[in-house]
Amino acid sequence: MSVVFRGVAQFGRALPWGGRGRGFESRRSDHLNRPLRFPVRAFFVDFVEETMIRELELVCSECGEKFLPKEKLFYRDDYMANSIRETKLICDKCIAAWNKKWKIKSAVFAEKDCVMTVDLELKDGTKYTKLDCTAIPETEIVVVGEDIPLEAQKKLYKIFAKWDMERKANLLKDCIFKEEFMRTTVTCATYGGEKFKDVAFRVNRKGELETEVAMPDYIKAQVLENFYLYGEQAAMEEGGENKDE
Ligand SMILES: [Zn+2]
């Protein structure tokens, strides 16, 4: 069986691609030497004598075999196809194999220079390294540089969310400075839940942060960074005010 579609035979319409009805061809051969000056209308009267119901076989663009879709007709969207002939159809067998293949065993995310990549291992042993990927929190999926089933995209997001939380744990989510007489303090907290309140500090001659209570180095480094930004900001604001006066 094949998919059957009905062409539209309308007067004044162009012929289908390469279209010349077989019946038309044989009849026309008698008049080959005559100029083709008959009107469009007559042209089509000849043409519509043949049926406009045609057959088209479905061929899988992945495995090259003929197939019949069961419930849905799958195709690869390349944003190019404008007709069924150009559409990259995929058979149910290939879709099933694709779904079976993409069972994720492990995923290791990394981010460098704002580009996130993931190393993947599938249950069938296939490995992919440094695939570009993007996490989409709105739909809780991770899209990667390969076509992967939605289920795999969702599974990747779960792994991503855990990794993202862990990497953020030591990051400061806020950092507030307070300047009092002879005393500058910081109040800060990390995503992981570590908190410091009104801790007095100073920057020593080596440019290191000295705090009145012990603070882990990774927090000190961020406080210092923020303090320099804060200093620059304050200087800029002052400069601005002076200009206005
Ligand atoms: Zn196929």
**Pair 181, 240 in one domain:** yes
**Pair 42, 77 in one domain:** no
**Pair 15, 5 in one domain:** yes
**Pair 198, 239 in one domain:** yes
Per-residue pLDDT at 2 exceeds 70: no
Q: End of a domain among 148, 168, 188?
A: 168
**Pair 178, 234 in one domain:** yes
Q: Report how far ligand 1's centroid is from the alpha carbon of 161 (Å).
A: 34
| pLDDT at 242 (0 to 100) | 54
What total of structural domains would you count in the chain? Answer: 4
Q: Report how far ligand 1's centroid is from the alpha carbon of 51 (Å).
A: 31
Q: Report how far ligand 1's centroid is from the alpha carbon of 94 (Å).
A: 4
Share of the chain above pLDDT 70, in %: 77
Instruction: State mean pLDDT over 43-60.
Output: 70
d(CA 232, CA 237): 9
Neighbouring C-beta atoms of residue 199, cutoff 10 Å: 17
Q: Report how far ligand 1's centroid is from the alpha carbon of 62 (Å).
A: 5
Per-residue pLDDT at 245 exceeds 80: no
User: If pLDDT is split at 50, 70 and 90, which confidence band does 27 have?
Assistant: very low
**Pair 183, 131 in one domain:** no
**Pair 160, 183 in one domain:** no
Q: Report how far ligand 1's centroid is from the alpha carbon of 91 (Å).
A: 4
pLDDT digits (tens, 9 = 90+) for 180-215: 888 999 999 999 899 999 999 999 999 999 999 999
pLDDT digits (tens, 9 = 90+) for 55-111: 888 999 999 999 999 999 999 988 888 887 788 999 999 999 999 999 999 999 999
Quote the pTM value: 0.57
Q: The domain containing residue 16 runs over which residues?
A: 1-56
Q: Report how far ligand 1's centroid is from the alpha carbon of 155 (Å).
A: 25
Asked if residue 116 lies in contact with residue 134, where contact means CB atoms within 8 angstroms, the answer is yes
Q: What residues contact 196, with CB distance under 8 A and at least 6 apart?
A: 186, 187, 188, 189, 213, 215, 219
DSSP secondary structure string for all residues of 140-164 = TEEEESS---HHHHHHHHHHHHHHH
**Pair 177, 236 in one domain:** yes
Q: End of a domain among 45, 70, 101?
A: 101
Q: Report how far ligand 1's centroid is from the alpha carbon of 142 (Å).
A: 26
**Pair 97, 107 in one domain:** no
Q: Report how far ligand 1's centroid is from the alpha carbon of 95 (Å).
A: 7
Per-residue pLDDT at 19 exceeds 50: no
**Pair 67, 123 in one domain:** no
Q: Report how far ligand 1's centroid is from the alpha carbon of 171 (Å).
A: 48
**Pair 37, 78 in one domain:** no
| Position 105, amino acid | K
